[in-house]
Amino acid sequence: MAAIGADEGYGHDDKPAFFARWFYSTNHKDIGTLYLIFAIFSGIIGGFLSFAMRAELAQPGIQIFHDLHTYNVFVSMHGLIMIFFMVMPAVIGGFGNWFVPLMIGAPDMAFPRMNNLSFWLLPVALICLIISFFVQGSASGNGFGGGWVMYPPLSTIGSPGPSFDFIIIGLLAAGFSSIFGAINFITTILNMRAPGMTIHKMPLFAWSVLVTAFLLLLALPVLAAALFMLMGDRVEGGTGFFDPARGGDPEMFQHLFWFFGHPEVYIMILPAFGIVSHVVSTFSKKPIFGYLGMAYAMVAIGVVGFVVWAHHMYTVGMDVNLKAYFLAATLVIAVPTGVKIFSWLATMWGGSISFSIPMQWALAFIFLFVIGGVTGVVLANAGIDTALHDTYYVVAHFHYVLSMGAVFGIFCGFTYWFGKMFGVLYNKYLAALHFWTFFVGVNIIFFPQHFLGMQGMPRRYVDYPEEFALYNEISSWGAALTGVSVIFFFVWVIEALIVRRKAPDNYWGEYANTLEWTLSSPPPYHQFNTLPVYKDEDHH
């Protein structure tokens, strides 16, 4: 095993030279690594912004953002960067690129060159967003402060400066990056599976990426159209899509945005589902329970996810019957999601669980995602949502599914595949330190925010009445702890990269039985020059 790759195809020695390898890359593993580095970089920026916000909110009164506008800019940028430049690149671009081809036994992605285009559009997009920080936004200052949802009129007449134009360009670039990525993944998965691997024997992570890719393919173009409309409205003497004085309707943007926006949230969580499935199975030493149910639950989530968007718009003055429909449709999603949760539990049931680092992340993921999910169900009830909409209850909800769902999924995959990707093992005590501080930290940040929300504290507030002081202070302390924890993350990564304990091919044992574990760690520059023949031992 270990021998293979040493001198096949492009062996280790005839890897392209540094510049060609990292800038002109057509290798899915290198591109995946680029994505991961990019995601970590964005994570630092997005994290920094959020910590600044928490510092501001630590107590009533204005601490940092004396011009008020900059706070809104931070909030908006935090949301955009975390979603488009941290989570998506990490789970889809990073892990997807690295492990979809390996898991399905393919030598590379279907369109290696387009794959690299998908990546290079992202730095371009991020540069645009960073520029937008420093150029005229609204009359009140630099940067765009209209929230990550970019509702007009705040994003049209509300911010006339070039700042928001840069954000439009940036999001268009990021959007097309994801669209090309989606085309690539769909083609790869449908067309390049190893002989014998039928779609129903495909590992669940590949399934999750397949569903995610379809969501991207169908949701993002609508966002692109909406962004072009904003562009047109911003041009002087331009269009009037969202301008009531010209027969337009600001609310129409919200429909277009959320038609993309809701699938987007499942785009962020589905790959995490896939990762967690493998981790749970590996460390319970059992095959995944109810494989087909798991796969089709994700399909169901994807499909239903397209018809629930207006649950973000319960208070805009929609017709009550429409609200009733979206209420019912939204509740439906709880069912397939429940199937996944319980299937994970059933996979562990009767297993022989070893609590290694990835498993700890996975267990925490399951529990915290359930909390975030059920608060989502509360919000889905349009009646209750009138009390909770645009309060910190919503903030708490989506951080439980994002900052604890998606991000825990990311760390879970990162700790699971670290040795496979970089060929070195990490110190599990340092990694555990990172896990526990992060786990405690984020819960301290976001659990009290439920109470703030029910007491009525609105979102996107730079300053709040003394009545909200206590929980805000607790939350900010939690943020401080989380900040320290992010440092621990870098500590264990750097330690592992410096000490270089060689990772064996399969360091998790026989139950890590997807194809990537049959290769060396790290895998040869070009794997599967002879396609593996997939014999079914009911392992998914």
Partner 1 sequence: MAGHAVEHDYHLIPPSPWPFLSGCACLIWGLGMVTFFTGLVQRTGDSPMLEFFFARGLDTIQGREGAGGGWIILAFGCAFAAYVMFAWWRDVIREAEAGDHTPVVEIGLRYGMIMFIMQEAMFFVGWFWMFFEAGLFNKARAKWDTSILTNAPAYADSIAPGITAINPWHLPLMNTLILLLSGTTVTWAHHALIHNDRKAAKWGLGLTVGLGIFFTFLQVIEYAEAYAHRESGAPWLSTDIYGSTFFLATGFHGLHVLIGTIFLAVCLGLVLKGKFRPEKHFGFEAAAWYWHFVDVVWLFLFAFVYIIFGFSI
Partner 2 sequence: MRLISKVALTLTSLMMSGIAMASQPKDGKIGFQEAVTPVMEELIRFHHSFVFPVIVAITIFVMALMIYIMVRFNEKANPVPSKTTHHVGLEVAWTLVPILILLVMVVPSMKLLYMQDRLPTTEMTIKVVGHTWHWEYQYPELEDKVEGFESYLLKKEDALAAGKPYLLGTDAPLVVPVDTKVKVIVTSQANLHSFSVPSFGVKMDAVPGRLNETWFQVNPGKEGTYYGQCSELCGIRHAFMPIEVKVVSKSDFHRWVNNGGSFSTNVAQANIAAPAAAPK
Please give the structure tokens belonging to residue 256: 């277009």
Position 262 contacts Cu ion (CB under 5 A): yes
Q: How far is the CB of 506 from ligand HEA (least distance, A)?
A: 22
Position 233 contacts ligand HEA (CB under 6 A): no
Give the separation between CA 449 and CA 472, rounded to whole angstroms.
8
Q: Give the residue ranges of DSSP H helices in 423-537.
A: 428-455, 469-499
Position 155 contacts ligand HEA (CB under 6 A): no
Name the residue nearer to partner 2 (CB basis): 24 or 349.
349
Position 329 contacts ligand HEA (CB under 6 A): no
Position 516 contacts partner 1 (CB under 8 A): no
Name the residue nearer to partner 2 (CB basis): 234 or 389.
389
Give the separation between CA 194 and CA 262, rounded to whole angstroms.
33
Residue carrying the six token digits 């953002």:
65
Please give the structure tokens belonging to residue 277: 């499935």
> What is the pattern of x (binds ligand HEA, CB under 6 A) and - over residues 42-71?
-xx--x--x--xx-----------------
430 touches which of ligand HEA, partner 1, Cu ion, none (CB within 5 to 8 A by kind)?
none
Q: Would you say 183 and 114 are in contact if contact means Cβ atoms under 8 Å apart?
A: yes
Name the residue nearer to partner 2 (CB basis): 153 or 221.
153
What residue type is assigned to position 87 of the chain?
Answer: V
Interface with partner 2 (CB under 8 A), residue from 95, 258, 468, 525: 468
Please give the structure tokens belonging to residue 235: 């041009």
Q: How far is CA 262 from CA 47, 139, 207, in A?
A: 23, 31, 20
Interface with partner 1 (CB under 8 A), residue from 45, 49, 87, 182: 182
Give the separation between CA 304 and CA 482, rounded to whole angstroms.
34
Site for ligand HEA in 89-108 (CB under 6 A): 90, 94
Interface with ligand HEA (CB under 6 A), residue from 31, 45, 86, 229: 86
Site for partner 2 in 119-138 (CB under 8 A): 138
Name the residue nearer to partner 2 (CB basis): 69 or 434.
69
Window of 90-98, 227-235, 256-264, 390-398 that interacts with Cu ion by CB under 5 A: 256-264
Position 505 contacts partner 1 (CB under 8 A): no
Q: Would you say 165 and 141 are in contact if contact means Cβ atoms under 8 Å apart?
A: no
Torsional class of 206: left (φ above 0), alpha (ψ -120 to 50), beta (otherwise):
alpha
Handedness of CA 56, 61, 67, 71 (dihedral sign): positive
Position 394 contacts ligand HEA (CB under 6 A): yes
Q: How far is the CB of 149 from partner 2 (least distance, A)?
A: 8
To 10 degrees, the CA torsion angle through 105, 111, 113, 117? -110
Q: How far is the CB of 390 from Cu ion (least distance, A)?
A: 14
169 touches which of partner 1, Cu ion, ligand HEA, none (CB within 5 to 8 A by kind)?
partner 1
Residue carrying the six token digits 């960067």:
81
Give the separation between CA 492 and CA 391, rounded to whole angstroms.
37
Site for partner 1 in 232-291 (CB under 8 A): 232, 234-241, 244-249, 252, 255-256, 259
Position 346 contacts partner 2 (CB under 8 A): yes
Q: How far is the CB of 93 from ligand HEA (least distance, A)?
A: 10
Give the separation between CA 389 and CA 378, rounded to whole angstroms.
11
Give the separation between CA 440 and CA 481, rounded to whole angstroms.
8
Cβ partners under 8 Å of residue 316, min gap 6: 251, 254
Give the separation between CA 140 and CA 156, rounded to whole angstroms.
15
Position 193 contacts Cu ion (CB under 5 A): no
Q: How many CB atoms lie within 10 A of CB 201?
A: 17
Please give the structure tokens belonging to residue 394: 């919503």
Interface with ligand HEA (CB under 6 A), residue from 459, 481, 518, 539: 459
Name the residue nearer to partner 2 (CB basis): 236 or 466.
466
Interface with partner 1 (CB under 8 A), residue from 114, 331, 341, 491: 114
3-state secondary structure at position 424: strand
Handedness of CA 203, 204, 209, 215 (dihedral sign): positive
Name the residue nearer to partner 1 (CB basis): 111 or 464.
111
Name the residue nearer to partner 1 (CB basis): 32 or 453.
32
Position 444 contacts ligand HEA (CB under 6 A): no
Give the DSSP H or E segment for 273: helix 250-284
3-state secondary structure at position 425: strand
Q: How far is the CB of 178 from partner 1 (least distance, A)?
A: 10
Position 405 contacts ligand HEA (CB under 6 A): yes
Give the separation between CA 53 and CA 475, rounded to whole angstroms.
11
Give the relative orientation of helices 428-455 and 469-499 as an angle to the nearest 10 degrees. Answer: 160
251 touches which of partner 2, ligand HEA, Cu ion, none (CB within 5 to 8 A by kind)?
partner 2
Q: How far is the CB of 345 from partner 2 (least distance, A)?
A: 5
Positions marked catalytic:
78, 108, 148, 177-178, 262, 264, 266, 277, 311-312, 337, 340, 459
Give the separation between CA 145 and CA 151, rounded to whole angstroms.
11
- DSSP letter for each residue of 285-297: TSPPTTHHHHHHH
Position 370 contacts partner 2 (CB under 8 A): yes
Binding site for ligand HEA (CB under 6 A): 36, 39-40, 43-44, 47, 50, 53-54, 75-76, 78-79, 82-83, 86-87, 90, 94, 147-149, 265, 268-269, 311-312, 330, 333-334, 337-338, 341, 370, 373-374, 376-377, 379-380, 385, 389, 394-395, 397-399, 401-403, 405-407, 410-411, 414, 442, 445, 459-461, 479, 482, 486
Binding site for Cu ion (CB under 5 A): 262
